[in-house]
């Protein structure tokens, strides 16, 4: 993949310690000043280190790489918590030569194209001053850094932001501050809302959030605080894209992956900004979605065709040529959305139906088609009748269903074979008969689940699975819902369950694009745990992070009758087979 996606696959930080950036900037950073350029032994060849003073006097360090010739030039900036001079690897790169070579290659991507490249350490990282608190200062610091770069002698006053994952988050936060000289951004795999991403459906991503934090030496006290931070509050929303993207005034090219931890982020941000954004943003967005994750995919599927397209890097430079240089290269005459339509992809047997498609918007035109759950574990196109039809199971927190793949960061990820989960009474597999024709979907997937439990609270988990003719159960999407948060996560939305009473619990599985080919089966797996991907619910009804009561075994029930038509809802394209 190109440089931006390579950067994007490096980071877990976006999942972990994010609290909130402070409010919108009170004033421009025109008074931000730079110390004299300085060379030090850690610099990559061709770089000059410059210091930018933020509004509170803290100075942030940046490596500045300039094109050959005489400026001024447009600027592409990346703001990183991962050290502008690269990480030291005494085992594999003792003299730092590989590190410096990678940084030079990264900069050359831009300088050869006629841009100054600025790689800046965020506050408290690397050679920048201040205290590091993940994403708490990146609204103001992003604003001030853009305005500083615009005022430098080597700059023509037009600045773009580029980055993936954590660097995509810093780009989005700066864009929300609307610095006057920021003209465009290129954002790879970044979330729309850290709370919604870290606590999907109100359930904490156990291993990727707490597991990663613990590996960094975070105390148990802080980890328990993170467990309790599931509710919606001002601290999440001060820097949330979902709350503040209405202030963005620039074109953004979003690149995401169908198996990435931030799949929903790039899609959601594009949808909002393209259709409802402020002047300057609305109608000027681009989206590219590919078949990749936040790291190499695990399992027996692969999508080599997307790598050969090599679109991301080429499109980035075209994007900045258009918005920072005014080059009429036709990029804005092309469809706003490019997305990879996945299909059969067992290694060595890539179906020709895997292909890149375009669309005027996201999602493409589709129709919701419901596949109803039946007691004989079939997904049926016919709505259920009768009364009291249901399937029950016992959910024991001491014996959770193990995680096999999914949109993970710190462990195996992607479309892994769910047959690794053996038959067990608390894991319900529903599937269609073998398809007599292709079923193509593109857009958001959800499950309308009618569930009950014998206690006050529990979890339900759903997985969309593509079952191959040879039996391979390829995971496509998965997500949970915590019963108490079925109506939302504002304090007044929280409702405990009435024991034994069925209620609708909608599960948002996020978006995808896949063709379930003729001969395959569409499957929906329902359970109540998926560990260590998600925190295991103790079924006690205690508040998140409380452990005063011993976990209990819950009797959970899925209803599937006329009054409670549990269904998988798919965005089917060409529903009539045309």
Reduced 3-state DSSP string for 286-347 = EEEEEEEECECCCCCECCHHHHHHCHHHHHHHHHHHHHHHCCCCCHHHCCCEEEEEECCCEC
Q: Domains along the chain?
A: 4-193+240-359 (3.40.50.1820), 367-573 (2.60.120.260)
What is residue 2's predicted lDDT score, i.e. its pLDDT?
Answer: 41
What is residue 22's predicted lDDT score, i.e. its pLDDT?
Answer: 31
> How far, in Å, CA of 391 to CA of 556, rounded?
9
What is residue 16's predicted lDDT score, i.e. its pLDDT?
Answer: 34
Please give the distance of CA 221 from its chain centroid, rounded to a whole number: 27
Q: Are 151 and 180 in contact (CB under 8 A)?
A: no
What is residue 29's predicted lDDT score, i.e. its pLDDT?
Answer: 40
- Among residues 353, 357, 338, 354, the alpha carbon closest in space to that of 303 is found at 354
DSSP 378: B
What is residue 526's predicted lDDT score, i.e. its pLDDT?
Answer: 98
Q: Are 107 and 117 in contact (CB under 8 A)?
A: yes
Q: Which residues of 220-256 are buried (b: 16+ CB within 10 A; e: fewer)?
A: eeeeeebbebbbbeeebebbbbbbbbeebbbbbbbbb
Q: Are 241 and 175 in contact (CB under 8 A)?
A: no
Query: How buried is 328 (Cβ within 10 angstroms: 0-12 exposed, 13-18 middle, 19+ buried)?
Result: exposed
For tokens 């000289």, the residue is 181
Paired tokens of 510: 């996020």
Q: Are 559 and 450 in contact (CB under 8 A)?
A: yes
For tokens 């999907």, the residue is 200
Paired tokens of 234: 């001002």
- CA 189-194-196 angle, to 5 degrees, is 105
Q: How high is the mean pLDDT in each 10-residue block of the chain (578 residues)?
A: 38 35 35 48 87 98 96 97 85 82 92 98 94 90 98 98 95 98 97 89 92 70 84 86 95 97 96 98 97 94 74 83 98 97 96 96 97 98 94 98 96 97 98 98 98 98 98 98 96 96 98 98 98 97 89 98 98 73
Residues in the chain: 578
> How far, in Å, CA of 186 to CA of 117, rounded?
14
Query: How buried is 519 (Cβ within 10 angstroms: 0-12 exposed, 13-18 middle, 19+ buried)?
Result: middle
What is residue 120's predicted lDDT score, i.e. its pLDDT?
Answer: 97
Q: Are 248 and 285 in contact (CB under 8 A)?
A: no
Taking the alpha carbons of 246, 119, 15, 58 in that order, is the dihedral positive or negative? negative
Residue 382 sits at φ, ψ, to 5 deg, of: -100, 130
> How far, in Å, CA of 63 to CA of 101, rounded?
14
């Amino acid at each position: 993949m190109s440089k931006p996606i390579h950067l994007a696959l490096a980071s877990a930080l976006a999942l972990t310690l994010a609290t909130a950036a402070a409010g919108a900037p009170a004033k421009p950073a025109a008074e931000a000043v730079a110390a004299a350029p300085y060379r030090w032994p850690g610099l990559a060849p061709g770089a000059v280190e410059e210091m930018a003073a933020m509004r509170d006097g803290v100075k942030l360090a940046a490596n500045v790489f300039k094109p050959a010739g005489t400026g001024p030039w447009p600027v592409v900036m990346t703001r990183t918590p991962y050290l502008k001079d690269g990480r030291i690897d005494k085992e594999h790169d003792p003299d730092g030569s590989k590190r410096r070579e990678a940084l030079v290659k990264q900069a050359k991507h831009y300088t050869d194209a006629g841009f100054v490249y600025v790689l800046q350490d965020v506050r408290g990282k690397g050679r920048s001053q201040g205290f590091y608190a993940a994403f708490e200062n990146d609204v103001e610091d992003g604003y001030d850094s853009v305005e500083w770069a615009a005022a430098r002698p080597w700059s023509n006053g037009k600045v773009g932001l580029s980055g993936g994952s954590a660097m995509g988050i810093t780009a989005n936060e700066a864009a929300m501050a609307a610095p006057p000289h920021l003209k465009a951004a290129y954002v790879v795999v970044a979330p729309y809302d850290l709370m919604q991403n870290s606590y999907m459906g109100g359930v904490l991503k156990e291993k990727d959030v707490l597991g990663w934090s613990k590996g960094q030496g975070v105390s148990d006290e802080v980890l328990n605080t993170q467990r309790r931070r599931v509710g919606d509050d001002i601290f999440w929303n001060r820097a949330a894209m979902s709350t503040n993207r209405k202030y963005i005034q620039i074109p953004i090219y979003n690149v995401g992956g169908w198996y990435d931890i931030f799949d929903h982020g790039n899609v959601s941000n594009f949808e909002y900004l393209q259709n409802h954004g402020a002047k300057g943003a609305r109608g000027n967005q681009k989206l590219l979605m590919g078949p990749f994750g936040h790291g190499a995919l695990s399992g027996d599927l692969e999508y080599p065709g997307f790598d050969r397209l090599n679109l991301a890097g080429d499109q980035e430079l075209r994007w900045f040529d258009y918005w920072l240089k005014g080059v009429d290269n036709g990029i804005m005459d092309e469809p706003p959305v490019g997305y990879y339509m996945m299909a059969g992809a067992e290694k060595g047997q890539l179906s020709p139906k895997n292909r890149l498609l375009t669309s005027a918007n996201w999602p493409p035109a589709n129709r919701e088609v419901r596949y109803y759950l039946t007691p004989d574990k079939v997904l049926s196109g016919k709505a259920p009748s009768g009364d009291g039809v249901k399937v029950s199971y016992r959910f024991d927190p001491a014996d959770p269903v193990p995680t096999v793949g999914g949109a993970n960061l710190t462990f195996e990820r992607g479309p892994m074979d769910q047959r690794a989960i053996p038959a067990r009474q608390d894991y319900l597999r529903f599937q269609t008969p073998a398809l007599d024709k292709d079923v193509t979907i593109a857009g958001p997937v959800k499950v309308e689940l009618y569930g009950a439990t014998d206690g006050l609270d529990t979890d339900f988990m759903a997985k969309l699975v593509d079952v191959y003719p040879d039996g391979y159960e390829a995971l496509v999407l998965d997500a949970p819902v915590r019963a108490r948060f079925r109506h939302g996560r504002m304090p007044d939305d929280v409702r405990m369950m009435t024991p034994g009473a069925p209620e609708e619990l909608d599960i948002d599985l996020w978006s995808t694009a896949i063709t379930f080919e003729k001969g395959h089966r569409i499957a929906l797996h329902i359970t109540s745990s998926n560990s260590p991907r998600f925190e295991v619910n103790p079924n006690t009804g205690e508040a998140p992070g409380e452990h005063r009561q011993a976990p209990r075994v819950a009797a959970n029930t899925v209803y599937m009758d006329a009054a409670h038509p549990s269904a998988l809802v798919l965005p089917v394209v060409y529903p009539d087979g045309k």
